[in-house]
Chain A
Amino acid sequence: MGKTLAEKIWDDHVVRSAVGEPDLLFIDLHLLHEVTSPQAFDGLRLAGRKVRRTDLTLATEDHNIPTTDLDKPIADPVSRTQVETLRRNAEEFGVRLYPMGNIEQGIVHVVGPQLGLTQPGMTVVCGDSHTSTHGAFGALAFGIGTSEVEHVLATQTLPQAKPKMMAVEVIGDLPAGSTAKDLILALITQETTGGGQGYVVEYRGDAIRALSMEERMTICNMSIEWGAKAGLIAPDQTTFDYIEGRPHAPTGADWDAAVAYWQSLVTDDDAVFDKVITIDATKVTPWVTWGTNPGQGVALSGNVPVPADFEDENERIAAERALEYMGLTGGTPMRDIKVDTVFVGSCTNGRISDLRRAAELLEGHQVAEGTRLLVVPGSVRVRLQAEAEGLDKVFTAAGAEWRGAGCSMCLGMNPDQLAPGERSASTSNRNFEGRQGKGGRTHLVSPDVAIATAVTGHLASPADL
């Protein structure tokens, strides 16, 4: 019997296999950031252990750092301590760190691919659930907790029970005006937040093949939002072209050997998935969330759902609670919802293609009165590239705020937060209660919808401009 793509990568990384125990997997790349690593380094110190493979480990500062006043010390002393702790740990244990002020600094899931460190067939882990992003390259990439971070630091391996395999067959092509973000939001609505639990999912079909690498990253990034262990896409010429020439990409004979291996990383025709689901791409239109988990979504052309219409009792109660928190009434057209803040950024949609698209749509328009637009590049490199192309000028001329690189308002750990009751349209990945600030209300959207919303002041798509 043939193997799925994920099974091939899995089998290539088994260090040890024993009956009744999880497999011990070798980890090719371990990414670190300031929030989930301090206790792991502490654990190493307490046990007198070292980092086994500093050459497969990379740290960056992203979650907790400010996006303004970049030349000043971090104002919040607790945040500053956490960032300084990472710097001390990186130095003590010999781990390469890209700190604030370094040209390679940025959101960990933007930095890895940008440097060419994320390559097909690799195992990639990080103490962050959006590590699934790297699956876009045909890598097996997943988020881990701090105990596991410590385990990987000490051993460069991780004991893992083999997950089940799921295929997501995307049927047909995305219509004009629909984006990768709309596709993944619609899929999460269809499958709900628990639909992928226990599975590694492979996104397949012509609509997936047609996506750019950065669009594929948007898709894989949100795998965790429907509960999947990891999400991946088979590598192809699009993947190879994106990697070639990047700082850590193989060169010469190594490149040829790598591509030959990468080309073998496809699911065999006779491989069997434990589960196959389908989504009709031709029916995907601009998609937005109305509730407090990413599965509570609806077409932008639709209405806020009426809780009584939900058959499942848990879903009905969850919907009632969500609408109360969101300050919405069932039946309201989504387009009638006024928005205070628009956030363009994050590891989901903070890459250069996202900013190019945002600037293209915004050019010649102004941000609506009473609405603020925050544009936060995913990395310093993305910021510099955007500035070289004059995108920052488009944003600021329209009345938007142009910021430094980081996670920013996606999770509101730094000062970029919503006030209680404030409503956002956000290109990020989570609309949980309080995610972007205590009492803040989040609608997840694509960059296209974000910009149209910023211009009109209510949820809108570019077709409304």
Chain B
Amino acid sequence: MDKFSSHTGIGAPLRRSNVDTDQIIPAVYLKRVTRTGFEDGLFAAWRNDPEFVLNQDAYKNATVLVAGPDFGTGSSREHAVWALQNYGFKVVISARFADIFRGNSGKAGLLAAQVEETVVEALWDYLDANPGAEISIDLETRTITAGEISEPFQIDDYTRWRLLEGLDDIGITLGHADQIDAYEATRPAFKPVTS
């Protein structure tokens, strides 16, 4: 995973709440066996609408998505994170993220920055007044800056550290292999096996 310390890019206002994973990428687009190419399915149902935010010239190259509350609810598909990343997004800002989506983002290197709902409203208003304007996100200081707006965002310490260092989770865990061995030796005999 690449290290992530800060990012500045065009912000896109997605004025919707409860953007579920089927809206981020419908199931029919999940058939690929790679981690790339999912941008074609991103917000598939809305991309036909010329009014949709990503179809407007000012936001086409957006890298920071500012979304309504309860973003990423529903399925566990990490494809939702990949589709956002494949399109070019580096950061999603919302007042509430679904747990699995937040977890998947941290693993895949997409920054899910949680803010107060009033901050989302302020960013939406700012972007509407300044289409194509940039938003800066500093993971070191956990700060979002856009024009006159400067607000803190929340991310758990561990995910922040992993993103800053660009660490591979599996590598970290395999460093504790002796503890896994020790645990396995204590498992009760009645636990089932699949073989």
**Neighbouring A residues of B192 by C-beta, 8 Å:** 28-29, 116-117, 119, 248-250
Q: A145-B81, A197-B96, A197-B99 are in contact. Are A438 and B76 (CB under 8 A)?
A: no
Interface residues of A in 115-150 (CB under 8 A from B): 116-117, 119, 122, 127-129, 131, 143-148, 150
A261 to B174, CA, bound (A): 30
- On whether the beta carbons of A21 and B34 are closer than 8 Å, the reply is no
Contact of B195 among A21, A22, A96, A434 (CB under 8 A): A96
Q: Is A399 an interface residue (CB 8 A)?
A: no
Contact of B156 among A47, A56, A161 (CB under 8 A): A161
Contact of A39 among B34, B172, B174 (CB under 8 A): B34
Task: Mark the stretch among A267-275, A314-322, A344-352, A447-455 that contacts chain B.
Answer: A314-322
Interface residues of A in 15-71 (CB under 8 A from B): 15-16, 20-22, 24, 26, 28-29, 35-36, 38-39, 42, 47, 49, 52, 54-58, 63-64
Using an 8 Å CB-CB cutoff, how does the interface string of A412-443 with B read, 1 for contact, 0 for none?
11000000000000000010111100110000
**Neighbouring B residues of A146 by C-beta, 8 Å:** 78-79, 104
- On whether the beta carbons of A22 and B16 are closer than 8 Å, the reply is no
Which of A16, A57, A317 has the most B CB atoms < 10 Å from its CB?
A: A16
**Neighbouring B residues of A38 by C-beta, 8 Å:** 33-34
Using an 8 Å CB-CB cutoff, how does the interface string of B150-194 with A read, 1 for contact, 0 for none?
000000111000000000011011101101100110011111111
- On whether the beta carbons of A24 and B173 are closer than 8 Å, the reply is yes
Task: Mark the stretch among A76-84, A170-178, A367-375 that contacts chain B.
Answer: A76-84
Using an 8 Å CB-CB cutoff, how does the interface string of A182-224 with B read, 1 for contact, 0 for none?
0000000000011001100000000000000000000000001
Nearest B-chain residue to A262, judged by Cβ:
B190
CB distance from B175 to the nearest CB of A (A): 10
Q: Interface residue count for B (Cβ, 8 Å)?
A: 59
| Interface size range of chain A in the complex | 35 or more
Interface residues of B in 7-54 (CB under 8 A from A): 16-18, 20, 22-23, 26-28, 30-35, 44-45
What are 8 sample pairs from A and B whose C-beta atoms fall under 8 A apart?
A: A38-B34, A55-B195, A117-B192, A145-B77, A145-B107, A155-B180, A258-B188, A261-B190
Given A129-B74, A261-B190, 19 extra CB contacts under 8 A: A15-B179, A16-B176, A42-B35, A47-B170, A55-B194, A117-B192, A145-B107, A154-B170, A161-B158, A194-B96, A194-B98, A197-B99, A227-B70, A258-B190, A321-B16, A412-B27, A433-B23, A438-B26, A438-B28
B residues near A (Cβ < 8 Å) are 16-18, 20, 22-23, 26-28, 30-35, 44-45, 68-70, 73-79, 81, 96, 98-100, 103-104, 107-108, 156-158, 169-170, 172-174, 176-177, 179-180, 183-184, 187-195
